[in-house]
Every structure is written in structure tokens, then in C-alpha cells.
Amino acid sequence: ADICYSGNTLPLMSSSFDIVVTLDTIEHLHNNNRTTFLSELYRVAKEGVILCAPFGTPEHLAYEKEILNSGILDANSFTYLTEHVKFSLPLPEEVSDMAKLFSAKVFYQGDFRDVRPIAKRYTYYDLLVQMFRNMLIDTFWQNSEYLKSDFTQYTNRFFLIANKTSR
């Protein structure tokens, strides 16, 4: 179910859920509110948080801006892209800071120029299901052929894994 978020606190008790997942949400928040949002997710999670979002390298940001301004898409139909450009995708420094704050691991996936080959073999949702099942098993993250520990200028998205039970 959808939960309305005021920008300050989630209307939930602490440790309400075993694992909290947010998929393609944080990039729609102003970057001043992103750490607060992640803090709230962390508060309502008992075991940990999985955050998945597009990754904001300068190349990725320029690519999305170019698509939005090209006239190929109707910006009214693609509000998400307008917000990506308006609020910016999470930048590498921002992701690194969030990871440090929550003692989280970060993994990267895909190439924003063409995610179709990956999507055919393994969708983001498939990855999330795997992550749910393996949240507490560190070897999953180390052995995944789809998740990388480093990013390139063309990296499409990141997964931030904040595991409360291993802190």
C-alpha cells in the first residue's frame, strides 16, 4: 500500500517492518530532504533498508536532460523525468555520504544508455526479490554478477543496503 509522507516523519511506529524497500523514490525528493527520508525508512525497519534509485553521474544527468528537452517525450506524461532533472539524481558524493551515515553498502548496476540486455535477463524486481531473501547473507552481494561494487560514468542505478542487524 502507498504511505503518504509529509517530508518529516512516516506515520508508522519504529521497527514496523522487517525490511523496508524504496524503489525509484528518493530522486523525486529535493536533496535537502533525502537524508531525512532515509532516516525515517531506517527508523521503521527492524532489520534493514534497501534503497534503489537512478544514479546521478554528470553523464546520466546530461542524458536525462537531453531526452526531456528533445521533444521526443511529452513532459506532462513523464513527470518522473521532469522531477529527475528538477531535483537531480542522487550524486556519487550524496550516495557515499548516505552510505557512511547508515553504515550501508552500495552496489551499482546497468548502463543508462542501454539497460535492455540486463532487463531481459534480470529485472530490477527480480534483484529486489533476491535481496529480500539474502539480506543477511553478505556473500550474495559479493557474488552477484549483476551488482558491482564500483560505478562508471554510465552507471544506471545504485542499491544502498543498510543492514541494521550487522551494525
Q: Between these two residues, 124 and 79, which has the higher pLDDT value?
A: 79
Alpha helices in 5-122 (DSSP H): 34-44, 58-69, 79-87, 92-101, 116-121
3-state secondary structure of 7: coil
pLDDT at 21: 86
Cα 84 to its chain centre, rounded Å, is: 13
d(CA 42, CA 14): 9
Q: Which residues of 86-109 are buried (b: 16+ CB within 10 A; e: fewer)?
A: ebebbbbebbeebbeebebbbbbb
pLDDT tens-digit series, residues 151-160:
999 999 999 9
**Chain mean pLDDT for the chain:** 81
Q: Which residue has the higher pLDDT, 70 or 76?
A: 70
Q: What are phi and psi of 22, to 5 degrees?
A: -125, 130
pLDDT tens readout for residues 85-101: 999 999 999 999 999 99
Cα(29)–Cα(84) distance, integer angstroms: 9
Q: Is the pTM of this model over 0.95?
A: no
CA 81, distance to chain mean position in Å, is 15
If DSSP codes are grouped into helix, strand and coil, which group holds residue 147?
coil
Question: Where do the DSSP E strands lie in the chain?
Answer: 17-23, 45-54, 105-111, 155-163
Question: Rounded to an integer, what distance in angstroms lies between the CA atom of residue 86 and that of residue 149?
Answer: 28
What is the band of 120 on the pLDDT scale with cuts at 50, 70, 90?
very low
